[in-house]
Chains A and B, each alone.
Chain A
Amino acid sequence: DSGVTQTPKHLITATGQRVTLRCSPRSGDLSVYWYQQSLDQGLQFLIQYYNGEERAKGNILERFSAQQFPDLHSELNLSSLELGDSALYFCASGGWSGGPNSGANVLTFGAGSRLTVL
């Protein structure tokens, strides 16, 4: 158990629908990161939140949005789903807030949410 909790583990839905993926970070971690892993692809960075504020944005579609709540859990909302959105969505947490000489930012990942869009 990594300490990062993701729900649901599996989700099957239809095109055009909307889903919400939930993530609880490891205790003490302020940052939450969302990554997408499609078939045979690496982990694509979507978005990062730090203590409730958006910190960095990656290749996140406009149909996707995220937020981090005061209790630090985060939700990733995926709407108008398409077949190509079928993927593993990982949440990771970390406590390091950046800056030189701060050491490697080791992210701790959850087990992922597998989304299948039919």
Chain B
Amino acid sequence: DQQVKQNSPSLSVQEGRISILNCDYTNSMFDYFLWYKKYPAEGPTFLISISSIKDKNEDGRFTVFLNKSAKHLSLHIVPSQPGDSAVYFCAASAYDTDKLIFGTGTRLQVFP
């Protein structure tokens, strides 16, 4: 039962353009959503989060949008840089648990 889904395994974007990574979820009990970035041979690192009571959170070049009615969130990276090339994981947590449920990840490649 995949409660958090990232349906695009990969995405290729030109440097300077916008990268949009998508995530869908099924559990309406999720109250926080997080994005992590992972480089090869490293552990995932936290990028940005959003509470279920908000629809947008922004941090520099990174913005996360949440559409609760559609159970969908997206991460926008503007402008994309070659250093953003990594695997991006969407994760969610429910109010009554500490654990994070992760999606399968989207590999982003930013080319010059």
Contact = CB atoms under 8 A, between A and B. Distances in A.
A42 B98 contact: no
Interface stretch (B14-22, B42-50, B68-76, B78-86): B42-50
B98 A56 contact: yes
Contact of A104 (B6, B45, B51): B51
A43 B44 contact: yes
A64 interface: no
Interface string B81-103: 00000000101010111111111
Interface string B27-45: 0000110101000011111
A109 B43 contact: yes
Contacts of A111: 41-43
Nearest to A109: B43
B63 interface: no
A8 interface: no
A104 B43 contact: no
A47 to B, nearest CB: 9
A61 to B, nearest CB: 17
A56 B99 contact: yes
B99 A106 contact: no
A45 B42 CA distance: 18
A98 B43 contact: no
Interface string A91-118: 0101011111001111111111000000
A20 B101 CA distance: 24
Given A2-B43, A90-B43, A111-B41, A105 B100 contact: yes
A109 B44 contact: yes
Interface of A: 2, 4, 31, 33, 35, 40-45, 48, 50, 55-56, 58, 90, 92, 94, 96-100, 103-112
Interface of B: 4, 6, 9, 31-32, 34, 36, 41-46, 49, 51, 89, 91, 93, 95-105
